[in-house]
């Protein structure tokens, strides 16, 4: 499950109807990536993980020839983070989990397909568990983006000898939104 659902965003932002659903669906994984990058944290639950060299990838499935996924604690609906693969590192949402396979979701907001990869590399698959408090920040970031959709980003304008300046909209959010993330921010050592 993603950091937040479309229904939760709509509840927090007090949006009724479905006209914004597609936009919200598209924004959830973008905001999720922004939050994990900003916080320098993928929010791994290190109590639920599995590592080894018995995993292979195809389309939407990770297979384990040792059939250890359920024993390790993986269940349908959870988010996972893959680390150490050749091409499939990153965050995924599970549709189903069984002893020998994990199948990712094919629906928005988090829908990614694996690159085919044979077993052999030693990698780790973790359960991802986002703190509930991040839902508010994520919803507010989406609300902020919705409010800016139709703005031309003009920061100043002069009529005599016409001049115009455009605001820098490089993706920074207001301090009241970012301050809710500071508690979760980890130091970065580059």
b/e per residue 12-49 (b: at least 16 CB within 10 A)? beebeeeebeeebbebbbebbebbbebbeebbbbeebb
Contact in structure between 70 and 100 (CB atoms under 8 Å): no
CATH 2.40.30.20 maps onto the chain at 44-128
Helix axes of 6-13 and 134-148: crossing angle, nearest 10 degrees = 70
CA atoms within 13 A of residue 162's CA, in its CB half-sphere:
0
Q: pLDDT at position 170, please?
A: 45
Determine if the pTM surpasses 0.75.
yes
CATH code for residues 44-128: 2.40.30.20
What is the C-alpha to C-alpha distance for residues 64 and 109, in angstroms, rounded to an integer? 26
List the chain pLDDT tens, one digit each, 190 residues. Answer: 689 999 999 999 999 999 999 999 989 988 998 999 999 999 999 999 999 999 999 999 999 999 999 999 999 989 999 999 989 998 888 999 999 999 998 765 456 789 998 887 789 999 999 999 999 999 999 999 998 775 555 555 667 777 655 554 445 788 888 998 999 999 887 6
b/e per residue 97-117 (b: at least 16 CB within 10 A)? beebbbbbbeeebbeeebeeb
């Amino acid at each position: 499950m993603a950091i937040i659902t479309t229904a939760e965003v709509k509840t927090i932002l007090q949006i009724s109807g479905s006209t914004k659903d597609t936009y919200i669906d598209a924004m959830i994984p973008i905001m999720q990536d922004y939050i994990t990058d900003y916080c320098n944290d993928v929010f791994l639950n290190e109590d639920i993980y599995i590592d080894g060299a018995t995993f292979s990838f195809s389309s939407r499935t990770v297979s384990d020839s040792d059939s250890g996924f359920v024993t390790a604690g993986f269940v349908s609906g959870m988010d996972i983070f893959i680390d150490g693969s050749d091409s499939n590192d990153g965050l995924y949402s599970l549709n189903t989990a069984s002893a020998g396979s994990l199948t990712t979701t094919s629906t928005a907001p988090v829908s990614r397909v694996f690159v085919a990869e044979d077993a052999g590399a030693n990698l780790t698959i973790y359960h991802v568990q986002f703190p509930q408090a991040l839902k508010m920040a994520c919803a507010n970031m989406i609300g902020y983006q919705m409010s800016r959709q139709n703005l031309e980003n003009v920061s100043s304008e002069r009529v005599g000898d016409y001049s115009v300046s455009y605001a820098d909209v490089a993706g920074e959010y207001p301090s009241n939104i970012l301050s809710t993330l500071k508690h979760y921010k980890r130091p970065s050592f580059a």
